[in-house]
Structures are given as C-alpha cells and as structure tokens.
Amino acid sequence: MRTGVWLIGARGSVAVTSMLGASAVRAGMAEPIGCVLESPELHSDALPAIGELVFGGHDISSVPLVKKAAALGEAGIVPARLAVAVQDVLLEIEQDVRPLPDHGTQAEVADAIGADLDRFRRRHDLDHVVVINVSTTEPAPPPHPAHADLDALHAALDGPEPVLPPSALAAYAALRAGCPYVDFTPSTGARLPALDALARAQGLPYAGHDGKTGETLVKSVLAPMFRMRNMKVRAWSGTNLLGGGDGANLAEPAANAAKSASKQRVLRETLGYTPQGETRIDFVEDLDDFKTAWDLISFEGFLGTRMRMEFTWHGCDSALAAPLVLDLARLTAAAHRAGRTGPLTELAFFFKDPLGEVPHALSEQWQVLRAAVEALG
C-alpha cells in the first residue's frame, strides 16, 4: 500500500525527524524504537510499512531539508551520522516540499493546496495521502458563524476576509482533495462542525489533537494510579521548560493558553474533579528541543495524611513526536482504506486533547487502539 504523508510544517523539527527517521529505518540503519505500531501486540498486515511511506509537504520557511537535518544532528536530536547518511533521500523529498500557497481568497488558497496534493499523489502513484499538521501552533481563532455550517463556509471562503485559521484551511483543502487529515498540534484543524460535515460528506476520517509526548503522557498513567488507589489528588502543578521553534512560539501567550488547556484536561477527565494547580510553559532557548517538565503532585491518603510526589521529565520532543507521526500516518491510511469516516476517536492514545468522549487513562486508550488495529484485520 503506497502511502503519501503530506506534512504541513514540512521543514520543522518534527517533520524532518520523521522523514529522516523513516528513511533510516527503511535503510536498516535504525530500529523503529518509539513506533507504537512496531510492538508485537499491534502488528497488522492492513497497515502500510514504514518503508512504504512517501513524504511531501508545505511550509512557509525555505530552509533546505538537508540543512535542517544537519542542524538536528548538531543539536543531538538525531544522530549526526544519520543526518549525513540519508542526505540523498532528503534531497529527493525536497522535490515534494512546496511553499504554502498564499495568493487570493481562502477559497483560492484551498484550491492551490488541493492542486499540490493531487500532483503529489499522481507523481508517486499513491493509494492514499494523509495530511498531517506539524506546523507552528496557532492561537485559537475568533469564532465565525460559517464554522458551524458547511454551505456557509463554502460561501464565506470566497470572500475577501480570512474565515479559517491556517490549520483549518489546510484541513478543508485536504478533505476536499480526498485526503484524511490529522492534527498533531493543538490548533483548530478539522475541529469545526462544518469540517466534520465535510469529512463525512467526503467519506473521510480525521484525527487529533496535539501529540502526547511528555508531561501529559506521564499524567495519563499517574492520574489513573491515584484514581485506582482511591487517593485524593489535592494539587497538581506543572512547569514545562522548552526551547526550539515550538518553545519560542509557545512563549506567545495565546499559543501558550491553547497548549496549557490541552495539558490539564487529562486530570479532570481521569480523576473526576480538577485538582488545584496550573501547567506552565516557559521558553528557555538554551534547552533547544530538549524539554524539561517538572510536576509536583500533592495528595491525600488514609485519614487525611498528606503526601507528595514529583517527577522530572527530560525528553527530546522531536524524537518523541516523530515516531508517533509515522504511526498516525499508517493508521489513518489504513482507516481510510477500511472506509472509516469522521473522527478517529480510537486514536486517543496519541493525543493530549483527543476527539470525542474517550477514556484518558493511557492503558484504556491502548486497549481501544489495540482493538481498532485488530479490527483492521
């Protein structure tokens, strides 16, 4: 099954680590560590192999992929020797990474995006193209009546004013071009009633939101632990220090707010109440892609005795995200082929802020994922 992966933000850290890593795995130069679908329990012949993925994408930056890969190597995010070894493959992918269309009305931009997707599909003779958003996190957009109605949306996009934030416009364009859409960021993406309607009308699935790679991942196993033991979490405070392009952007209050909100949801959903405390994201340029999160949990046990737990997570964000991007591409392509439409709620395992009324405990999400993979055959 030849599967295209079209990355919005194709020149960013997550995107380039994904491309580089898939190439290294295909070439037998690296193990697919962190790729969830490579666990024996999740094997399925219905899934395209990592080696079958073909990459392309849009970006507003023009830094060459090879240069970005070298920078990732120097920063220790990927092994420097791999960045060198896959240069040729990156040069090929470079042919399919195009500047984000930006001329005319939003309807015209969407058409141009769709045309790029068609060209990519034809050029590589692909069975499916999955569009995945790994671009910079946007602030939440102002509400607009056309968000709720597909016809109104079609009409409004023809007007001179922007109606959709970039992520939603990409989703619109993807769905219209017959491509499933996955949002790895907390941005709006396909999460609008009008776009849900479009997906269903087109018979396409979509997924999101916000890849779960660090602090929230840990929360999604620790919060259930407290619940299973019937202990009372009184306060849970988190601090995330991160550099890199993502960190710089999240230092903007609006993007920060979007992200912090998705990070606390797991507590409320798992515990059934919201403990005191907040989640902070601070930009510390020097840390680059190596994020440090520190959480303090204050809890109450038998007879009210107060206890505490704290954890520190020193993770490399792109190395954590990239294998999940590959997983999501493969799962979404297979779901598309299997005829699934609308939100892929069975992929909650991958997201901080999953679509639908789904379990937030990681182990329950895993059971759901496993059942979904089995159902693929």
What residue ranges bind Na ion (CB under 5 A)? 312
If one asks whether residue 229 binds a copy of itself (CB under 8 A), the answer comes out as: yes
If one asks whether residue 225 binds a copy of itself (CB under 8 A), the answer comes out as: yes
Q: Which one of 45-53, 200-208, 210-218, 335-343 is the stretch in contact with ligand NAD (CB under 6 A)?
A: 210-218
If one asks whether residue 211 binds ligand NAD (CB under 6 A), the answer comes out as: yes
Task: Give the E-state strand segments of 116-254 in sequence order.
Answer: 128-133, 181-183, 205-208, 232-242
**Neighbour-count burial of 355, counting CB atoms closer than 10 A to its CB (0-12 exposed, 13-18 middle, 19+ buried):** buried
Applying the rule CB under 8 A, the residues between 347 and 366 that interact with a copy of itself are: 349, 361-364, 366
Based on CB atoms, which residue is closest to Na ion, 297 or 344? 297
Chosen residue from 286, 339, 357, 377 binding a copy of itself by CB under 8 A: 286
How far, in whole angstroms, is CA 219 from its chain's centroid?
18
Select the binding partner of residue 202 from Na ion, a copy of itself, ligand NAD, none (C-beta < 5 to 8 A, by kind).
none
> What percentage of the chain's residues is helix, strand, coil (to nearest 5)?
50, 20, 30
If one asks whether residue 211 binds a copy of itself (CB under 8 A), the answer comes out as: no
Chosen residue from 320, 329, 335, 369 binding ligand NAD by CB under 6 A: 320
Q: How far apart are CA 224 and CA 273, in angstroms?
A: 13
If one asks whether residue 240 binds ligand NAD (CB under 6 A), the answer comes out as: no
Q: Are 321 and 213 in contact (CB under 8 A)?
A: yes
If one asks whether residue 161 binds a copy of itself (CB under 8 A), the answer comes out as: no
Q: Residues 54-73 vs ligand NAD: string with x where CB under 6 A?
A: ----xxxx------------
Q: What is the SS3 assignment for 82?
A: helix
**Other beta carbons within 10 Å of 165:** 19
Closest CA to 65 of 119, 13, 24, 25: 13
Based on CB atoms, which residue is closest to ligand NAD, 66 or 340? 66
If one asks whether residue 315 binds a copy of itself (CB under 8 A), the answer comes out as: yes
Applying the rule CB under 8 A, the residues between 78 and 137 that interact with a copy of itself are: 78-80, 82
Chosen residue from 153, 217, 331, 334 binding a copy of itself by CB under 8 A: 217
Applying the rule CB under 6 A, the residues between 251 and 310 that interact with ligand NAD are: none
Q: Which one of 96-104, 123-131, 169-177, 284-292 is the stretch in contact with a copy of itself (CB under 8 A)?
A: 284-292
List, in order, residues 6 or more apart from 304 with CB less than 8 Å away. Answer: none
Q: How far apart are CA 149 and CA 157, in angstroms?
A: 12
Using alpha carbons, list the distances in angstroms from residue 325 to 22, 43, 174, 207, 329. 10, 17, 17, 12, 6
List, in order, residues 6 or more apart from 142 with CB less than 8 Å away. Answer: none
Cis peptide before 147 (omega within 30 of 0): no
Chosen residue from 287, 358, 368, 376 binding a copy of itself by CB under 8 A: 287
Applying the rule CB under 6 A, the residues between 99 and 128 that interact with ligand NAD are: 100
Whole-number minimum distance, CB 359 to Na ion, in Å?
30
If one asks whether residue 11 binds ligand NAD (CB under 6 A), the answer comes out as: yes
Q: How far apart are CA 219 and CA 362, in angstroms?
A: 9
* Residues within the interface to ligand NAD (CB under 6 A): 8-9, 11-14, 58-61, 100, 134-137, 166, 184-185, 210-211, 213, 244-246, 317-318, 320-321
